[in-house]
Chain A
Amino acid sequence: MKFFGWFFCLALCAVLASGLQAEVVWHGYLMHHSAFKTAAPNNTLMLRNRLRLESEVGRESVFGKASADFTEDLDGSGAPRITLRELYLDIYGDWLDLRLGKQQVVWGKADGYFINDIVNALDLTWFLMQDFDDIRRATTMLNTKLHRGNHSLVFLAIPDFKPTIVGYSGDWGFDKPDSVTFLLGPVPLTIPIDYQDDQQPRGSLRSMEYGAKFNTFLFGTDLSLIYLKIHERKPVIHKSLHYEGMLPTGIGVALGHPWVRFFGFNFARPAGLFVIRGEGGYYPERWFDSNDASAMSQGMRVRKPFWQAMLAVDYQLTGNIDAGIQLIREQIGGYESGLVAEEVNSLYSLLVRARWRNDTILPYWLTLYNATSESYLSRFSVDWKSADNFTVTFGADFLGGEKESAYGQFNFGQFSGNDHVYLKVTYNF
């Protein structure tokens, strides 16, 4: 598949460059990224060199872009690798834009949280250590935008499914228990788990995902309405009991990605020195793990409506310091006992950014606090732009709170041993 990707890329460059006498532009960056745990400085979280190479070719209304990473982990945690990040063709018209190929689509107004921003799956192998641009997994799709004045209508057709990658081992591994306890009547029963392969949707017309977004500008407000029919990005667990006689002896865990429908909206509106923004999402049905024996016939899971909402205020404290507060609430509708996830999940975030010394020193502080699990992520960093195209970033991430969490819930506490400091040195070319 990678071979065909590269072949397509080269063919695209060649055709565009020769046929359209187009200009080919190469750019990218070289980055070194080191991260060390604060509790155990000898324990390296990351020691990585990366070359990002991007090529853009095009003329007038046709452009192609390819982006690839050449990555080497210096701590020997993996072999050097090449990753094709994005590869797409843009065609621009007066009222219609097309983007075809492997791409990232970012919808929504939230900072550091994913409510409307769910078109692409995530790679959580390194949790949130990587930039969001690296966390999102680019997916092959057709992205069509009809636009007129301040209004636009976007259609997505996604034939290629990519699941969210959740690590189950290493420093950023999520819990993957090898046994489970549930109530069989009044008696708690613990039995081993037999994990089966992730059943991913096959590339066919029947499994093609699709979505639409309408954007408008009304009375000074940016407003978007969203509809998506996609497969669950994170695997949903289906459990089945294995018996010997009358006694359960094991539990089979199958991972799948059922269809979900999503309705969303977002808005942003300035008011003096403030910008008010919001985002909402509603799933009529989503699968949730259950420990209740009545859910056994459905694979120890139940379908419930689920909604998410975010309200934020950004404020300019001074000419070069901005602050933003976000309130996020998630809720499972028709909640019943036995559900593993909490009924309500509340999160708060505070983001402060400054631009000092003519934008050459850029401090950044983001704190995400999950009030339900009483866990937090606090992230500090300072970018120092000492010369054109050269940036040095010093930073630290602190995580804390309750260690235990339900599968699929965002709990920073489970990584509380991973407080770390990091250094990134980047040269852009």
Chain B
Amino acid sequence: MKTYPILAGFVITLIGFSLLSAAEPTGRDIMVKVDEQHKVQTEIAKTRMILINKAGKTLEREVLRYQKTYNGKDGIDDKMLVFFEYPNDIRGTGLLLWTYVATDKDDDRWLYLPALKKNKRIAGKSKNDYFMGTDFTYDDMGGRKIDADRHTLLGEEVIEGERCYKVESVPLDTENMYSKKIAWVVPQKWVIKKVEFYDRQGKLLKLLTVENIQQVDGIWTPFVLHMRNLSTEHQTRIEIGSVQDNVPINDQVFTVASLERGRIQ
């Protein structure tokens, strides 16, 4: 007779654990969901970057970005071609970027400078570089792979009235400029609302806030990204002007020949 309550307790415990695991995803599960939610085959975006210095003075950049996901075909994760349209002194400057699925394989990068009329191969290992004077590194722009970090769910918090998962991501490589990142993710939408970036000494270095999240073709897309560097007091505000997802883009766009045209046909 005494075995029933023990068995019942065991069963209840098992059900409880399974319910708990369904309700509480791991940190990695959350980051995979975020990645999958915005997994598009192609994207064309016009972006305005506003660089704000300590004194509040602003500089602007406008870029046209073409991106295509290759899902591991020939080892390639995705390819991106960016052309600067403003300011006029760097107009036509282009960047071609190929990222690979293998975490230990460096990106291939080419820079086209219209003033020199030639493309220049640049090192693909330097993912901690800031992108064209902004406060975003190449990694911050979205090139980082999920398994390059160890993700831990720290709990839940409410940000601007929305319940968010709080996930800590610690880089597995020791060369990374960050010791950790903490991201707040909105469940259901699976978009990041805020990220804190900590330097190697564990001090808060940068703060990213995401605004104006809208659905485009069923995909939750942030239209404003605002990065503040607390160390330099410099800020970058990225405003997405227009986005087209999953439109056909010829593979030939993501080649050096296309980069050397200085424009996208």
Beta-carbon contacts of A139-163 to B below 8 Å, as 1s and 0s? 0000001010110100000000000
A6 shortest CB reach to chain B, Å:
23
Q: Are A314 and B133 in contact (CB under 8 A)?
A: no
Residues from 153 to 206 in B contacting A, C-beta threshold 8 Å: 177
CB of B256 within 8 Å of the partner chain: yes
In the complex formed, the residue of B with least CB distance to A94 is B252
Known: A108-B118, A150-B256, A268-B121. A60 touches B130 (CB 8 A): no
Contact partner of B88 (CB less than 8 A), chosen from A97, A217, A273, A428, is A428
Distance of A97 Cα from B258 Cα, bound (Å): 10
In the complex formed, the residue of B with least CB distance to A362 is B133
Beta-carbon contacts of A379-399 to B below 8 Å, as 1s and 0s? 000000101110100000000
B112 shortest CB reach to chain A, Å:
11
Q: Are A61 and B256 in contact (CB under 8 A)?
A: no
Known: A358-B133, A389-B89. A222 touches B117 (CB 8 A): no
Q: Are B125 and A94 in contact (CB under 8 A)?
A: no
> B122: which A residues are within 8 A, CB to CB?
270, 275
Known: A104-B117, A272-B123. A429 touches B88 (CB 8 A): yes
CB of B24 within 8 Å of the partner chain: no
Contact partner of A275 (CB less than 8 A), chosen from B59, B123, B128, B261, is B123
Distance of A129 Cα from B256 Cα, bound (Å): 31
CB of A137 within 8 Å of the partner chain: no
- Residue among A95, A270, A314 with most chain B CB within 10 A: A270
Q: How many chain-A residues does the 8 Å CB contact rule pick out?
A: 52
> A60: which B residues are within 8 A, CB to CB?
265
> B6: which A residues are within 8 A, CB to CB?
none
Q: Are A133 and B115 in contact (CB under 8 A)?
A: yes
Q: Are A215 and B59 in contact (CB under 8 A)?
A: no
In the complex formed, the residue of B with least CB distance to A357 is B53
> B7: which A residues are within 8 A, CB to CB?
none
Contact partner of B265 (CB less than 8 A), chosen from A92, A152, A220, is A92
CB of B46 within 8 Å of the partner chain: no
Q: Are A132 and B123 in contact (CB under 8 A)?
A: no
CB of B91 within 8 Å of the partner chain: yes
Known: A147-B257, A270-B124, A316-B126. A428 touches B87 (CB 8 A): yes
CB of A63 within 8 Å of the partner chain: yes
CB of A359 within 8 Å of the partner chain: yes
CB of B29 within 8 Å of the partner chain: no
Q: Are A145 and B257 in contact (CB under 8 A)?
A: yes
Distance of A316 Cα from B263 Cα, bound (Å): 28
Contact partner of A360 (CB less than 8 A), chosen from B109, B133, B257, B265, is B133
Contact partner of A97 (CB less than 8 A), chosen from B91, B115, B251, B257, is B257
- Residue among B106, B134, B250 with most chain A CB within 10 A: B106
Q: Are B234 and A97 in contact (CB under 8 A)?
A: no
A324 shortest CB reach to chain B, Å:
10
Distance of A131 Cα from B125 Cα, bound (Å): 30
CB of B42 within 8 Å of the partner chain: no
Residues from 102 to 131 in B contacting A, C-beta threshold 8 Å: 106, 108-110, 115-118, 120-126, 128-130
> B88: which A residues are within 8 A, CB to CB?
27, 29, 389, 428-429
CB of A277 within 8 Å of the partner chain: yes
> A131: which B residues are within 8 A, CB to CB?
115
> A145: which B residues are within 8 A, CB to CB?
257
Distance of A426 Cα from B106 Cα, bound (Å): 37
Distance of A357 Cα from B128 Cα, bound (Å): 16
Q: Are A133 and B250 in contact (CB under 8 A)?
A: no
CB of A320 within 8 Å of the partner chain: yes
CB of A319 within 8 Å of the partner chain: yes
Q: Are A277 and B121 in contact (CB under 8 A)?
A: yes
CB of A269 within 8 Å of the partner chain: yes
Known: A273-B123, A388-B87. A358 touches B130 (CB 8 A): yes
Distance of A210 Cα from B82 Cα, bound (Å): 33
> A319: which B residues are within 8 A, CB to CB?
126, 128-130, 177
CB of B152 within 8 Å of the partner chain: no
Known: A152-B257, A360-B133. A314 touches B250 (CB 8 A): no
> A316: which B residues are within 8 A, CB to CB?
123, 126, 129
Q: Are B59 and A270 in contact (CB under 8 A)?
A: no
Distance of A105 Cα from B133 Cα, bound (Å): 29
What are 9 residue pairs bridging A and B, where the CB atoms are less than 8 Å apart in the complex? Answer: A94-B252, A97-B261, A133-B117, A152-B256, A270-B109, A270-B124, A272-B125, A273-B126, A388-B87
Chain A residues in the interface with B (C-beta under 8 A): 27, 29, 60-61, 63, 90, 92, 94-95, 97, 104-108, 131-133, 145, 147, 149-150, 152, 215, 217, 220, 222, 268-270, 272-275, 277, 314, 316, 319-320, 355, 357-360, 385, 387-389, 391, 426, 428-429
Task: List 9 additional contacts besides A131-B115, A358-B135; criterion CB under 8 Å.
Answer: A94-B250, A95-B252, A273-B125, A273-B126, A319-B128, A319-B129, A319-B177, A358-B59, A360-B53
The 5 closest A-B pairs by CB, nearest first: A359-B133, A428-B88, A268-B121, A147-B257, A358-B133
